[in-house]
Amino acid sequence: MPNGQWANSDRASRLPRDWAARRAEVFRIHGDTCHVCGLPGADEIDHIVAGDDHRIESLAPIHGRRTGPRCHVYKSSSEGGKAAQVKKPKRQRPPEPHPGLRT
């Protein structure tokens, strides 16, 4: 199978050695139904919970970068957004002058 897409990414080294077999098994169980939008045509495998849980039951087909609604792109970016929100500092309001001090 072609396996060049993550060749230059840290992602490839974090996947298990039998990733290709797991990927095929997930497609065999679920078909090509995207677990995000429920439509057919999914061509990538998603980790349902973001992270390094590579068990078959933690994986599901998803629309990749090139197909349909591109669910994987949106899901990944919202995961990044949540992480960014945690780090976001508390919003500060600029101090307002007391109304009585206005001239």
Single residue of 19, 23, 37, 73 touching Zn ion by CB under 5 A: 37
CA distance 86 to 34: 29
Q: 6, 15 in Cβ contact below 8 A?
A: yes
Q: Is 36 one of the binding residues for Zn ion (CB under 5 A)?
A: yes
Is 36 or 59 the residue whose CB approaches Zn ion more closely? 36
Instruction: Report the residue closest to Zn ion, judged by CB.
Output: 34
Q: Is 71 one of the binding residues for Zn ion (CB under 5 A)?
A: yes
Give the residues lining the site for Zn ion (CB under 5 A). 34, 36-37, 63, 71
